[in-house]
Amino acid sequence: MVYISNLSRPANQMLVAKQYKVSIETLNKHISADYKADSKYRFYNGKQMESHLYEGIQPAEFYDKLENALASQKGAFKVNIALGYDLVSLADGEETRYFHPNLANTYVFNTPVAINSRADIRKKVISEIRSMELANKLNYPSSGYKLKSITGFKIYIY
């Protein structure tokens, strides 16, 4: 018996199938019925874009997960990142509101960033984000709420 995590991505399924010299159909047939993908991660694959959603993560995990998702890409691509966050009420410290990551109001870059090489990942994305104050990128009502924490992010790859 073999235990493997993160088989939610088709690319990972192909790698495992190739490693064990089985078809994708055979692999899917033998994946445990109670297999649960990482509850903090969701992968979406569209015709024009793919996205990687991470929710409920610790701030220390942000850069590793971002770099891993970008480094797995083949060829040139464009990327943007949206942030998810919790607000806490100033009037009632128990009341919180969660805002899901979306490009409508929580994007990190004003326009998608072109990545042509692996070096661009660190130079154009990671170092740029490290130099930003991410809390300033969030749109939320200033009266009555304050930022509690940034708890998730979604990577959009075009």
Residue ranges covered by each domain of the chain = 1-37, 38-157
Q: What is the mean pLDDT of each run of 10 residues along the chain (158 residues)?
A: 64 85 85 64 88 88 90 93 91 89 89 95 93 80 82 94
Residue-level pLDDT at 14: 85
Nearest Cα to 84, choosing from 63, 100, 68? Answer: 100
pLDDT score for 146 = 87
pLDDT at 36: 55
pLDDT at 26: 87
Task: Indicate the pTM of the whole model.
Answer: 0.73
* Sequence-separated (6 or more) residues with CB below 8 Å from residue 133: none
- Exposure string of 23-40, with b = 16+ CB inside 10 Å and e = fewer, is eeeebeeeeeeeeeeeee
